[in-house]
Structure 1
Amino acid sequence: MRTLVALIWTASLAAQQPVRNPRTSPEDIALGAKTFRSHCAPCHGIHAEGGRGPNLASGRFYHGSSDANLLTNITEGIPGTEMPALFYMEDRVWQIIAYIRSLNAAAEPPAGDVARGAELFRSKGCMGCHRVGGAGGGLGPDLTGAGKIRSIEHLRQSIVDPNADVQPRYWVASFKDDSGKPVEGFVMNEDTYSVQLMDMNQQLHSYQKAALHDYKVEKVSKMPSYKDSLTDEPLNDLVAYLASLRPE
């Protein structure tokens, strides 16, 4: 009986111990960096500072920050996001995690003023297309957690060159319907025979492809570039505001 109690107690203690990465040597980190650059950088950026995928260099992770969380997120993927499951040997995944942990988490804060950036965001009409904290439009990406999942560089690029990285959800479809009327919007769903579209008034429509003319999808953004309309100071303010959007 005492032996059974001891075994149960030992198992209970083991279950409470945090999962530790067994692959943290300099050699493991180097191999993890190599795997990251070949398989993860297309979405997360060559330096893991974000792109289509979130910034992984900050040390703050939207779906859990423990080693166990990272292992699960990589091997099983993250439902509801573009993060797929990666079917690697576990040691190789641990090496990727070791590389991510090795990155400098002390990123330089943006130079702008958050309050001025928030006012600029409102005055420029950004809320017409973007949602923040449940308020705003749905034509553009939800920016509620922009500062948590995007690097400073990616936020700046999105403002001055929106076409540099456009998610498929925001590619623009255009065609003429069976009456000859021009139609433009975002593809919400598509199969061989039909397409469901959200127009620029955020109304949903369904069309049979056989009735459409000049159907095409362009990998461009409807957001205008602010490269020539914002000087450095207001641009820095706007980036600082977006970087401050970090809901817990």
Structure 2
Amino acid sequence: MSRPVAALMISLFLVSFTFSLPGVTSSVLHRSSSSSSSSRNYRRAHSLGSSYDFDPRDGWTTFNATNLPQNSSSTLESRSNKAKTNSGKAKVGVSDVTDVALKALSKFIGVNITWYTGHDLLNPSCWANSKWTPTDESFVCALTLDGWETKPKCFDFLELCNGPQKCVYARVVDSCAGCAAGSKHVDLTKAAFGQLASLDVGILPIQMRIIDKPGKSEWNEDIWGPPI
């Protein structure tokens, strides 16, 4: 058998062998592609368009954002008296809004926002018993524990924007015992805050509204926790 003919037969055998294992090859490739496309934009800031106007009739209101760490589990001390756990400048990328736009529910909410990390991520209070724990890379938040009567509910999704061209989504999963009672306060994970601004930023004027949750095909447990 000539060498070219032998090489051709080997190539045909390999092609045939590959297609005989769809459960191994094609499914693995599909899962990898699907996982990437369903979650990649939710990890990055998105844009509403440079000409977007934050109209209160659309459910927007203005508030301030600071980058102080979250509550201590043992005291309600002022957040300004706590030392930072970490700082740094996150890389902010902006994705196309049409890839990630979720329906606005037009709730009017005026709040302050902070970021939290470390042990404050443990045991998110929205679950009675959950094996899932947020990380600095999650896109979740904690709300004032007491006195904010109209606060978003556990597992609501919030859209937060630093201008119309830099917005993120975050899911409510925890409470903030260190936030002043009655204050309208939202703590973001570092990844979410870092998409809006550097973690070193002190006060940041941004806008917030409640939005619909992502669909089942888009759900990413790593960044939002398990669905309910």
> Between Structure 1 and Structure 2, which shows a larger proportion of strand residues?
2
> Between Structure 1 and Structure 2, which shows a larger proportion of helix residues?
1
Structure ranking higher on relative contact order (CA contacts 8 Å, 6+ apart): 2
TM interval, shorter chain, is under 0.3
Q: TM-score, normalised by structure 2?
A: 0.23
Q: TM-score, normalised by structure 1?
A: 0.22
